[in-house]
Structure 1
Amino acid sequence: MSTPASAAPSASVWSLFSPTHLAASLMLAGGISLYAIETYVTATVMPSVVRDIGGLPLFAWVTTLYVACSVLGSIFIAIRPRGMSLNRTYMVGAFLFLAGSLICALAPTMEIVLIGRAVQGFGAGTLSTLGYAFIRYAYPEPLWGKASTLYAAIWGISTFIGPTVGGFFAHDSAWRYAFAIIIPFALAMGTLAPWLLPEGADDRTETKAPVRQMVLLIASVLMVSFAGTTENVSLRMWLVVAAVATIAVMIVVEWNVPVRLLPRGGVNLKKPISRVYIAMFMLLAALVCDIYIPYFLQVLHHVTPLISGYLVALIALGWTIGAFFSANLKGRTMRLAIICGAALEAIATGLLIFTMARDNPDSDLTLLIANTVLLFGMGFGVGLGWAHLVTYVLKLADEDEKDKASAGITTMQSLGSAFGAAMAGVTVNSTGLIAPGGVAGNISAATWLFALFTLPALVALVASISLRKTATDT
């Protein structure tokens, strides 16, 4: 494996933009930016798309197909054709993202939009995973965690940029420009990849596709994504149960076959890399209870939709600031940051029972400030440890499976978010949001939501604590 010259141990995040690393940082950050910004842009313009070309019954599949295909795109990194370098793979991801965006921009019907979103999602998953896969080629080891910090910052910034850009184009047929405007960027990045990115030579010993695991994984993603959108509570519950059962079957298959989806030890709890993946999954699953927070803020605390949106954006801001705060930690303090971050997320989520699940008709400032602090704390907790968990994955994976390990990071992100969103929907719709509804129903739903979503954060905490004696210092 070839790496650039070593950086000083005290190197900061800004070292990623030194002349030596600037080109790679712009390309890798740009790839993740395409994914992140387009996620929020699309969410903003979709009501306009439906008003213009119809297709309301297919509305949910715009996100479902995107998520499922992004998982496939992340897996593609590990099973790409033998000999294909990472910078060539980047070209494939960028041009697929371009093609998907073009299809969406020209789509005459919602069915064509779905095709475009599927292609877009595959390209986005590829680009997002390459951000992690390239770390070991583009940067010296002291900067691995800093690169993950940069990616966290991109997602935080995109939370503000995406809805703003989407809102600018969310009228009449202007939504098409929201997809078209990103095409020149994808074209430039795909074209420049062979020159601005290191080759990333193929050092894998296994390139066969774990077909059975892939089918089971995508089936679980589709089921849980659909569960998060259907209004039938009973169907929603059974879809989640079926999705969990499918994941369990996938783990059994992964354990017993030679061609694996995850790196060695990925489903073996005795191995630290499996517990790192669990921590990632659970941290993201707990965080997505935020999808109902704007509604609770508006119904229970009587704030405007605009203010509720900005308050929830504090979670992303907290993640970004937490990532920068812990960027220079290493060794024992790095592990402590992961543990403290998981604990902080659990505490902040649990305390929302007492501050968010309250009737606040006068918009009492004390309660709103408390909610603001806790929302920021949820994101800050994840940000404290996320980049270090990424570093653990890259260091714990065997040399010939680091691309597979990088794909696992994106897979855990997608699965955690999808399962979390589905479970949030099941929880609130089963505990009062719909029946009886109103203030009492919302208080009940919010109480149950934050109580139950404290549990995955606690699981992440336990998994993080277990890393103390098994993961090596960095």
Structure 2
Amino acid sequence: MDPALAGADPYAGEGWREILGQGRWAPFLLICFGIWLHAADGLIVVTTIPAIVADIGGIAWTGWAFALYQVASIVAASLGGLMALRFGIGRATAAASALFTLGCVLDAMAPDMGFFLIGRLVQGLGGGVMVALFHVAVTRVFPERHWTRIFAWVSAVWGVSALFGPLVGGLFAEAGLWRDAYWAFGAQALVVALCSPFLFGNVASSAQGLELRAPWCALLMLVPGVLGIAAASVVDSVALAALSVAIGLGFLALFFYFDRREHSPLLPERSLSAAPVRFGLLMVLCFSVATISFSVYGPLLLVQLHHITLLEAGYMIAIESVAWSVTAMMVGWVRPKGEPLCIKLGASMIALGLLGFALSVPQGPVWAIAVSAGLQGGGFGVSWAFIARRVASGAIEAERERAAGALPTTQMLSYAIGAALAAIIANGLGLELVTPEARLRSIGFWIFCAFLPLTLPGFRAAWRLAR
């Protein structure tokens, strides 16, 4: 529909038929399918790992089965925007999906834990690039007036994936077929690899084909930076964990320093001076760091403090994902004039959810914990699409791919930082396999309350972004 025929409102009369018209429905489905693949597979190890260690051993390395995937995803996602610029979205996505497939095959064939961890590393590399490229693809396949709705559905798919990934893994593991779970995900990734050149082949990027050099100096700083932070969440010593985080943050500072001086930087350096890009990424950073504690330690605290089953604890974690998905779909049709309210409302809901966890996890009641989970997940769902749209549209044209790819990278890196800091707090307060109830209640309070100060810069960024 021609906006001129719709009066002053360019959105009037638009429905999914128009949004997905002109052949855009197939790329849309591929984007959603790829997001499902990365998000679900990132968590499938949570429920397959007991069966894996029973089969191939390596229980001491179970933490790294999750951490290596996240580390590789963060590092690889930072390259997504650059790959889209250099090779085009179609070829870059096909290569990333093929790499993901290879990682799945390595996991499915793993004779021991070392081999399995290599597979997880390869999976993370492919998955990280994929998720960044799919965010870039939204900005290239769809007109800007549709970005909010598409990002809302991408956000909803992410939430659903986080919910069903562990469930799928659990079903395979209970059937004694944990290897088949990785074969299944490998087959799905192969579909993405085969379809991407056809569905994204005609999607041009702002600098496709230019001789863009990989920023090796920046990457050499980024890898130990992310590894150092991730290692802090899987070591028992508080001193070593704190040292690991400090070293990791030091390398990240060097990464930002060198990236600014690269010929082809990973970050949208020139666009960071634009308020939407700067404050959008800062909002994601603050609230993602602050809110990962419930996903990491929620099940343990719920089971031991409130004596619910693991299945019930899993449902409590799922509330956050469901709320994210439901609210993302609810606001998908909000017009631009409603964006500021959604961004501010999302920030408020996230902060209230975090406060609710600090008050309810130590003492209960369980229903209050469920409400807090709904607020936290719902806050992200209400605001995420609008953050993504403003970050992408706020960047200069030449850096739009980098800006779009920087959003999931920032989110994943923030989760890694938050998980590491939460581990330091929990271990510092004496978390053990069998912990006295009074100490558990203290941990249940501080593991959330300690992150409340981060909501202040998060609020400031949200209000500035909403202008």
Please, what TM-score do these two structures have when normalized by structure 1?
Answer: 0.89
Alignment of 1:391-410 (within 5 A): 391-410=389-408
Q: Does residue 1:465 correspond to 2:463, yes or no?
A: yes
**Mind listing any 5+ residue stretches in structure 2 that lack a counterpart?**
1-5
Select between 173-182 and 306-315 the one with higher mean Cα deviation: 173-182
Q: Report the CA distance between 1:278 and its aligned residue.
A: 1.0
2:377 alignment partner in structure 1: 379
Alignment of 1:73-112 (within 5 A): 73-80=76-83, 84-112=87-115
Q: Quick check: 1:13–1:143 contact (8 Å CA) kept in 2?
A: no
Q: Does residue 1:293 correspond to 2:298, yes or no?
A: yes
Give 3-state SS (helix, strand or coil) of 2:292's partner. Answer: helix
Identity percentage of aligned residues: 27
Letter in 2 for 1:275: F
Q: Does residue 1:55 correspond to 2:53, yes or no?
A: no
CA distance in 1, matches of 2:219, 2:373: 35
RMSD: 2.4
CA distance in 2, matches of 1:25, 1:139: 9
- Please, which of 406, 409, 412 is the counterpart of residue 410 of structure 2? 412
Q: Quick check: 2:351–2:455 contact (8 Å CA) kept in 1?
A: yes
Select between 17-26 and 155-164 the one with higher mean Cα deviation: 17-26
Letter in 1 for 2:73: S
Letter in 2 for 1:241: A
Please, what TM-score do these two structures have when normalized by structure 2?
Answer: 0.91
Q: Quick check: 2:225–2:247 contact (8 Å CA) kept in 1?
A: yes
- Please, which of 279, 283, 288 is the counterpart of residue 284 of structure 1? 288
Q: Report the CA distance between 1:184 and its aligned residue.
A: 2.5
Q: Quick check: 1:12–1:146 contact (8 Å CA) kept in 2?
A: no
Output one character per residue of 1:290-340: Cα deviation in whole Å (capped at 9) or x when no partner.
Answer: 121122211221211111110111111111122122222243421221122
Alignment of 1:348-359 (within 5 A): 348-358=353-363
Query: Alignment length, in residue pairs?
Result: 456
Change in 2 beyond 3 A, CA 1:48/1:347: same
Output one character per residue of 1:403-427: Cα deviation in whole Å (capped at 9) or x when no partner.
Answer: 2112211210110110011111111
**Mind listing any 5+ residue stretches in structure 1 that lack a counterpart?**
1-5, 361-366, 470-474
Letter in 1 for 2:284: M
Letter in 2 for 1:452: A
Q: Report the CA distance between 1:123 and its aligned residue.
A: 1.2
Q: Quick check: 2:317–2:373 contact (8 Å CA) kept in 1?
A: yes
- Please, which of 340, 347, 350 is the counterpart of residue 345 of structure 2? 340
Q: Report the CA distance between 1:385 and its aligned residue.
A: 0.9
Give 3-state SS (helix, strand or coil) of 1:134's partner. Answer: helix
Q: Quick check: 2:104–2:120 contact (8 Å CA) kept in 1?
A: yes
Letter in 2 for 1:273: V
- Please, which of 214, 218, 222 is the counterpart of residue 217 of structure 1? 222
Give 3-state SS (helix, strand or coil) of 1:182's partner. Answer: helix
Select between 197-206 and 29-38 the one with higher mean Cα deviation: 197-206
CA distance in 2, matches of 1:396, 1:20: 27
- Please, which of 318, 322, 330 is the counterpart of residue 317 of structure 1? 322
Q: Does residue 1:230 correspond to 2:235, yes or no?
A: yes
Output one character per residue of 1:172-229: Cα deviation in whole Å (capped at 9) or x when no partner.
Answer: 8621101001233222221122222352224226722222222222212111111111
Change in 2 beyond 3 A, CA 1:160/1:16: farther
CA distance in 1, matches of 2:113, 2:433: 32
CA distance in 1, matches of 2:62, 2:50: 9
Letter in 1 for 2:224: A
Q: Report the CA distance between 1:115 and its aligned residue.
A: 1.8
CA distance in 1, matches of 2:18, 2:452: 36
Give 3-state SS (helix, strand or coil) of 1:103's partner. Answer: helix
Q: Quick check: 1:97–1:123 contact (8 Å CA) kept in 2?
A: yes
CA distance in 2, matches of 1:289, 1:266: 31
